[in-house]
């Protein structure tokens, strides 16, 4: 037993001295609990909507106030014409539009029947269904308030219209997310592992003493993964169009160009990880845990970012997949051009230059 306790004591010392292991054992569970606790929810809150009130009567204004007072919706825009609805969706600032017809109150009180149109962005079919159900429920509750009696003479019916994905296919949502995850894993993890492997086997030092400059050696290691990733993009797009029947409504040249930009960001991340990691296991762990999980949870692919607390929403801005996911949805599903995604493109460009500069600086330190 004395030897057993000595081994136990030795293991405690071993863990205590290894700061990385200490972080994994103590810090990672806390981080995961916080992220999972706040991010893993299907409830939609504070969704920004637009209102086109053609009636502007007392009843329509009262109903808009009811919708805005709920925890699910926030009226972000008051539109003036039906043509503004498409522009509002393309700008990405709203998730749903509510349209009141002319003579809404007059129809309701004289004909006992009035209509409201709910227009949702069905490029994310689950979110579109949830929002229209929330809005329909609020309208039904308002209808009961007009006449507390059960047999109310007033009837308000809602007409729903799903933009971009009328059939509510799930593939329209997960194809952009899968593209982001596949490119991130292939580019980042494999780039990080292959360079660390060279370091472990000692061949990296042999390559660095060759006449070729260290930067060119690193770039030469990354180029094959860039080409393989472009093949991946083509394969994914072909499968999406011909197997999953998800059309490319925008420019395919723009979509491929934006995908190559995202690949360069991921390759830069892989180079940066390879400079910090000293083993293949460490590089793989960083790639999977530090990149894969944030991509799944904070990119907006599986869980709406706007539902998360402010700190998580801020953190989500440094996840490259969030911006790429938004770009693919805008170009591929909504058919938009560069004018709609210039902000996301500039952010990815900034990330790429920052990560490449940091990776080169780290490699120079190691060579010194």
Angstrom distance (rounded) from CA 169 to CA 300:
17
Judged against a pLDDT cut of 70, whether residue 5 lies above it is answered with: no
Q: At a CB cut-off of 8 Å and minimum separation 6, what does 154 contact?
A: 108, 109, 112, 113, 114, 143, 146, 147
**According to the per-residue pLDDT averaged within each range, which of 64-73, 208-217, 280-289 is highest?**
64-73
Confidence of residue 257 (pLDDT cuts 50, 70, 90): very high
Residue range 45-71: average pLDDT?
Answer: 87
pLDDT at 261: 92
Nearest Cα to 261, choosing from 335, 192, 328? 328
Angstrom distance (rounded) from CA 260 to CA 230:
7
pLDDT at 368: 45
Confidence of residue 29 (pLDDT cuts 50, 70, 90): low
Judged against a pLDDT cut of 70, whether residue 22 lies above it is answered with: no
The per-residue pLDDT for range 36-57, each reduced to its tens digit, is 555 555 567 788 899 999 888 8
Judged against a pLDDT cut of 50, whether residue 60 lies above it is answered with: yes
pLDDT at 59: 86
pLDDT at 25: 53
| Higher pLDDT among residues 367 and 339, named by residue | 339
pLDDT at 350: 94
Q: Quick count: other Cβ atoms within 10 Å of Cβ 20? A: 9
| Higher pLDDT among residues 251 and 223, named by residue | 251
Percent share of the chain, pLDDT over 70 = 79
Nearest Cα to 309, choosing from 321, 301, 296, 298? 298
Query: What predicted TM-score, i.e. pTM, was given to this entire model?
Result: 0.72
The per-residue pLDDT for range 170-186, each reduced to its tens digit, is 677 777 887 887 788 77
């Amino acid at each position: 037993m004395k030897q057993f306790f000595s081994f136990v004591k030795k293991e405690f010392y071993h863990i205590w001295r290894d700061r990385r292991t200490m972080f994994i054992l103590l810090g990672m569970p806390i981080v995961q609990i916080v992220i999972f606790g706040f991010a893993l929810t299907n409830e939609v809150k504070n969704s920004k909507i637009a209102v086109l009130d053609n009636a502007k009567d007392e009843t329509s204004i009262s109903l808009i106030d009811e919708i805005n007072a709920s925890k699910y919706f926030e009226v972000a825009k008051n539109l003036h014409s039906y043509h503004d609805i498409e522009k509002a969706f393309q700008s990405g600032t709203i998730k749903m539009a509510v349209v009141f017809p002319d003579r809404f109150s007059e129809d309701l009180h004289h004909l006992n029947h009035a209509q409201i149109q709910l227009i949702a962005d069905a490029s994310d079919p689950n979110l579109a269904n949830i929002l229209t159900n929330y809005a329909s429920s609020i309208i039904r509750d308002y209808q009961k308030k007009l006449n507390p009696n059960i047999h109310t003479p007033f009837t308000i019916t809602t007409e729903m219209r799903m933009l971009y994905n009328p059939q509510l296919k799930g593939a329209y949502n997960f194809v952009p997310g899968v593209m982001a995850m596949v490119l991130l894993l292939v580019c980042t993890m494999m780039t990080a592992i292959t360079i660390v492997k060279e370091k472990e086997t000692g061949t990296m030092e042999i390559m660095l003493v060759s006449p070729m400059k260290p930067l060119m050696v690193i770039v030469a290691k990354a180029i094959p993964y860039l080409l393989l990733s472009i093949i991946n993009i083509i394969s994914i797009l072909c499968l999406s169009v011909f197997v999953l029947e998800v059309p490319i409504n925008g420019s395919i040249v723009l979509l491929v160009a934006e995908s190559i930009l995202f690949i360069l960001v991921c390759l830069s991340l892989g180079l940066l990880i390879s400079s910090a990691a000293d083993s293949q296991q460490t590089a793989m762990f960083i790639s999977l845990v530090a990149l894969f999980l944030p991509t799944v949870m904070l990119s907006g692919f599986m869980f709406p970012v706007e539902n998360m607390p402010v700190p998580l929403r801020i953190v989500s801005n440094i996840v490259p997949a969030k911006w790429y996911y938004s770009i693919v949805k805008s170009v591929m599903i909504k058919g938009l051009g560069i004018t709609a995604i210039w902000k996301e493109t500039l952010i990815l460009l900034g990330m790429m230059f920052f990560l490449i500069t940091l990776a080169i600086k780290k490699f120079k330190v190691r060579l010194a």
